[in-house]
Amino acid sequence: MLIIPAIDLKDGHCVRLKQGLMADATVFSEDPAAMARLWREKGARRLHLVDLNGAFAGKPKNEEAIKSVVKALGDDVPVQLGGGIRDMDTIERYLDDGITYIIIGTAAVKTPGFLHDACYAFPGHIMVALDAREGKVAVDGWSKMTGHDVIDLAKKFQDYGVEAIIHTDIGRDGMLSGVNLKATVDLARELTVPVIASGGITDLKDVKSLCEAEGEGIIGAITGRAIYEGTLDFVEAQKLADRMAKPRESGA
């Protein structure tokens, strides 16, 4: 299982939000590229990047910072990027800039035809972020709730050919309150595409719980506030994930 450090960009800075509230942002670094290099040096095998301003504006707002992160990582660490990606031109531009995976969230829910076209045009590069509270999906930077059931939507998007589903419990995101393991496992069991867990991951106990459910189809865990505030040691988390994966890999 991949432990995936998150860099959330707001006004060019690396921040973390609580429950997606832009007014409740903590700045962890004014140099996102330096932060990306730090996670690469600590052994990160993938980076999760979010344009928070873009998510609220509906169009890219931190492109220079994003380019600096990709340049800092080189070809060593794939980057998955979300936030304000609402058209094909933006996807193509980001892929040309070196982003490996494009994450579509709000636009997938509001204009599923766009997601379908993106999966067809860029196979292997499109992920969907389903941000949910009590099983219902939120959109527009988590500011609006919909009546859509997260599992029903995930199944629909799976049929489109998405590479993975990123599932976030927005009630727990940034709160250091523990991962919503049940909701994540319930989703993964219903899908054949892999699920990446997000929201609330706090310590090695959460990592262990997710690793124990890896066989259900959970391939990664995104972590932000915990690794910045020190409740989770990233290096130890990835070591734990690797140790727990070895018996499955050897067929034991």
Token code pair at residue 159: 């049929």
What is residue 177's DSSP assignment? S
In sign, the C-alpha dihedral spanning 85, 61, 26, 24 is negative
Q: Do residues 125 and 154 make contact, with C-beta atoms less than 8 angstroms apart?
A: no
Rounded Cα distance between 63 and 226, Å, is 26
Catalytic (active site) residue 131: yes
Three-state SS letters, 230-242 = CCCCHHHHHHHHH
Pair 16, 232: CB distance under 8 Å = no
Task: Identify which of 39, 29, 51 has the alpha carbon closest to the alpha carbon of residue 141.
Answer: 51
Write down the catalytic residue from 51, 131, 169, 173: 131
Among residues 8, 51, 169, 206, the one annotated as catalytic is 8
Burial class (CB in 10 A: 0-12, 13-18, 19+), 210: buried
Residues annotated as catalytic are 8, 131
